[in-house]
Chains A and B, each alone.
Chain A
Amino acid sequence: MEGRPADDSVLIARAVRGDSAAYEEIVKRYQQVAFRTAYIITGSAADAEDAAQEGFVKAYRALDRFRPDADFRPWLLRIMANEARNRVRSSGRRHRLELRLSEGFRPGDAVPSPEAVAVATDERRRLLAMVNELGEDDRMVIASRYFLELSGEETAAALGIAEGTVKSRLSRALARLRARVEETANA
């Protein structure tokens, strides 16, 4: 998880007073989650970059309306997601989100045998393909919660739905994914 609330509040207070270096620090801290959130909505890296860029400018403009007692990330992600959705609407095009698997294992993974790598990679690839085949709502909520590792509140902000809806939508999405997994296993 990026950042700590206490640090955020200090940076935000400084940025509100006109300290641009403090806001640059906020941008650095959240640019990855902002960009990726925009990416799962637009399905395009170029559009996501534009949305994140503009979203940070809009967040800066609205910074003095941010409540100090609130969590900053959901607030920021809501702005980013709105900007991403606006871009999709104004451009009239929606790229289908196709998440891909990186080749090999990431740093920090235990070193497996070549056979284990092959099996695990194949399993991951099949599971990701099944996620990609889900409907948009299902895909987005799974991507937000598991791949972006957003909290329920952040997912609600990113998807523009109530937090309670996140739970029910996620539950249904997992049920559909589970059915596909079992169907494939039994085939």
Chain B
Amino acid sequence: MPELEQQLTSLARAIDWPPTPRLSVVLPIYGEVAGVAGRRGWRRWPYALAAGVLIVATLLAYTPTRDVIAGWLNLHTTIHREQHPPTPSPRPPGQLGSNLGLGTAVTLNEAQSQVSWKIAVPSALGRPDAVYLKQPPNGPSQGEVTLVYGQSPGIKVSGQTGVAALVTEARGQINENYFQKTLGPDSTLERVSVGGHAGYWIAGHPHDFVFTDANGNFQDDALRLATNTLIFDHDGTIVRIEGDMTKAQALQIAGSI
């Protein structure tokens, strides 16, 4: 190793780092619970949150009351960690897509009234079966809208989710270099053009999609169906189309926006 690099390596042991704080991470219930409180608040929250979690978990353990209480608290997507994988079924119980952590179920008009961009609805898919809205802090700075489709001709319905296709929209920018790195070895990336806009066709089983939201914050979002995905820019809105479909099908859907 050259001398300078040796000196730098040796210097590492002499760096006076600030003392590492003892982090006390308050684990959220999995799903749509908001992030932990701010710097001054989080030290006081563990006990209150733990108590709250215990009460809610206890109440939810009683099957007859579970759905009612979940309805009161809007916790339909909160507890999804299971000891055993769910048994695949053509259509899981609850509203379509409610188990995907997409945010709050709303109507298309309600979603439109909450976001700044014109929600793009592909005519090839028609009116969505369900619409979800995710707002900060759980979603991007200007919100995220997901259109859920349970049936679509020529597209296989997922046995686990009951969903055929998802169309997710958020204001932001795609950083190719960055999100490319997050794709696993079982996915391939291909540049495509969608109506003159830059887009990407991800084939395989991608799980994550990193983009920069309207405020410049990095958003690390899950690709819910972990299947073929078309991502493209639509006048400043990032549109993702997920589903067990071919590239031609996805491009046709995108072209119908």
Binding site for B on A (CB under 8 A): 16-18, 20, 23-24, 27, 31-32, 34-36, 39, 45-46, 48-50, 52-54, 56-58, 60-62, 64-65, 67, 70, 78-79, 82, 85-86, 89-90, 99-103, 105-106, 108-109, 123-124, 127-128, 131, 142, 146-149, 156-157, 160-163, 174, 177-178, 181
Q: Which residues of A are found within 8 Å of B216, using beta-carbon distances?
A: 89
Contacts of A162 in B (CB 8 A): 177, 181
Minimum CB–CB distance from A186 to chain B (whole Å) comes to 15
B20 contacts A31, C-beta separation under 8 Å: yes
Q: Is the beta-carbon distance between B81 and A31 smaller than 8 angstroms?
A: no
Some 8 contacts from A to B, beta carbons below 8 A apart, are: A49-B21, A52-B21, A54-B35, A67-B184, A123-B7, A131-B8, A146-B12, A147-B15
- For the complex of A and B, 5 pairs with smallest distance between CB atoms: A45-B18, A102-B16, A146-B8, A82-B218, A100-B16
Asked if A24 and B4 sit within 8 Å, CB to CB, the answer is no
Does B215 lie within 8 Å of A90, measured CB to CB? Answer: yes
| B interface bracket (residues with beta carbon within 8 Å of A) | 35 or more
Closest-by-CB residue of B relative to A128 is B11
Q: Which of A16, A147, A148, A181 contacts B81 (CB 8 A)?
A: A16
Cross-chain contact B220 with A79 (CB below 8 angstroms): yes
Q: Which residues from chain A contact B9 at a C-beta distance below 8 Å?
A: 146
Chain A residues near B92 (CB-CB < 8 A): none
**A61 partner residues in chain B, CB cutoff 8 A:** 28, 30
* B4 engages A181 (CB within 8 Å): yes
Q: How far is the CA of A123 from the CA of B184 in the complex (A)?
A: 44
From DSSP, what is the main secondary structure of chain A's interface residues?
helix
Minimum CB–CB distance for B52 against chain A, Å: 15
Q: Which residues of A contact B83 (CB under 8 A)?
A: 17-18
Closest chain A CB from B225 CB (angstroms): 12
Whole-angstrom distance between the Cβ of A14 and the nearest chain B Cβ: 11
B26 on interface, CB distance cutoff 8 Å: yes
- Of listed B20, B30, B81, residue having the most chain A CB within 10 A: B20
A-B pair count, CB < 8 Å, reads 135
Known A27-B25, A57-B25, A102-B14; contact A46-B39, beta-carbon cutoff 8 A: yes
A99 to B26, CA, bound (A): 30
A146 touches B5 (CB 8 A): yes
Interface positions of B from 193 to 227, Cβ below 8 Å from A: 207-208, 210, 215-218, 220, 222
Complex contact B27–A174 (CB within 8 A): no
The answer to whether the Cβ of B96 comes within 8 Å of any Cβ in the partner chain is no
Most A CB within 10 A of own CB, among B11, B16, B23 = B23
Q: Kindly state the separation between the CA atoms of A177 and B17 in the bound complex, as whole angstroms.
A: 21
Assess whether B16 is in contact with A57, with CB atoms less than 8 Å apart: no
**Are A35 and B220 in contact (CB-based, < 8 A)?**
no
Residues in chain A near residue B39, CB distance under 8 A: 46, 49-50, 53
Per-residue CB proximity of B62-91 to A under 8 Å, as 1/0? 000000000000000000010100000000
Q: Please determine whether A142 and B220 come into contact, CB atoms closer than 8 angstroms.
A: no
9 other A-B residue contacts (CB within 8 Å) besides A35-B21, A103-B16: A17-B83, A31-B21, A46-B39, A57-B35, A78-B182, A86-B218, A101-B15, A106-B13, A160-B218
Q: Are A52 and B23 in contact (CB under 8 A)?
A: yes
Contact partner of B4 (CB less than 8 A), chosen from A124, A156, A177, is: A177
Q: Is B47 an interface residue (CB 8 A)?
A: no
- Across-interface contacts of A65 in B (CB, < 8 A): 207-208, 222
**Interface status of B153 (Cβ within 8 A of chain A):** no
Closest to B12 in A: A147
Interface hits, B74-131 → A, CB 8 Å: 81, 83
What does the 1/0 interface line of B17-46 toward A look like (CB < 8 Å)? Answer: 110111101111010000110110010000
For the complex, give the distance between the alpha carbons of A79 and B35 in Å: 14
Bound: A49/B22 CA distance, A: 9
